[in-house]
Amino acid sequence: MDQFLNKHHSKFSQFMDLIYFLVVTNFLAILGTVAGLVLFGLFPSIMATYALVKMRIRGESFPIAQTFISHYKKSFVESNKIGLIIILLWMAILISWFFYIEQLTTTFHWIGLAVIGLLGIILFFLSMIIPITYVYFPKFKIKEYFTFSLMFSLGMPLLSLVIVLNLLFFYAIVVVRLISIFPFLAFTLPAYVNVYLANRRIMKLFTVFQDAHVTIRTLNSFGFYDQLYELLSGGDGEHPLITSQDFIHAIESGIIDGRLSLVMTDQQEKVVGMMLSSYHEASIHLELIWIDPSFQHRGYGTRMLAFIEKPLEQGDIKEIKLGSDQGYFEMVPVQFSKSLQFFIKHGFTILRQAEGWKVQKDGAQS
Residue 203 CB contacts under 8 Å (≥ 6 apart), including other chains = 136, 215, 217, 221
Q: Which domain holds residue 54?
A: 2-205
Residues 312 and 240 in one domain: yes
DSSP secondary structure, 107-146, as one string: HHHHHHHHHHHHHHHHHHHHHHHHHHHHHH-TT--HHHHH
Residues 63, 84: Cα–Cα separation, whole Å: 30
Residues 79 and 64 in one domain: yes
**Structural domains counted in the chain:** 2
Q: Which of 205, 224, 254 is the last residue of a domain?
A: 205
67 vs 53, 70, 160, 163, 194, CA distance in Å? 11, 5, 28, 25, 20
Residues 199 and 106 in one domain: yes
This prediction's pTM? 0.72
Q: Which of 205, 236, 262 is the last residue of a domain?
A: 205
Q: Name the pairing type of β-strands 356-362 and 349-353.
A: antiparallel
Residues 128 and 276 in one domain: no
pLDDT higher than 70, residue 328: no
Judge contact between 327 and 287, C-beta under 8 A: yes
Residue 256 sits in a domain whose CATH number is 3.40.630.30
Judge contact between 119 and 128, C-beta under 8 A: no
Residues 191 and 239 in one domain: no
Residues 183 and 244 in one domain: no
Q: Which of 205, 238, 264 is the last residue of a domain?
A: 205
Residues 300 and 182 in one domain: no
Residues 25, 184: Cα–Cα separation, whole Å: 9
State pLDDT tens for residues 27-84. Answer: 999 999 999 999 899 999 999 999 999 989 877 789 999 999 999 999 999 999 999 9
Residues 270, 105: Cα–Cα separation, whole Å: 62
pLDDT higher than 60, residue 9: no
State pLDDT tens for residues 276-288. Answer: 998 888 889 888 8
State pLDDT tens for residues 194-209. Answer: 999 998 788 788 899 9
Judge contact between 328 and 256, C-beta under 8 A: yes
Helix (H, G, I), strand (E, B) or coil at 63: coil
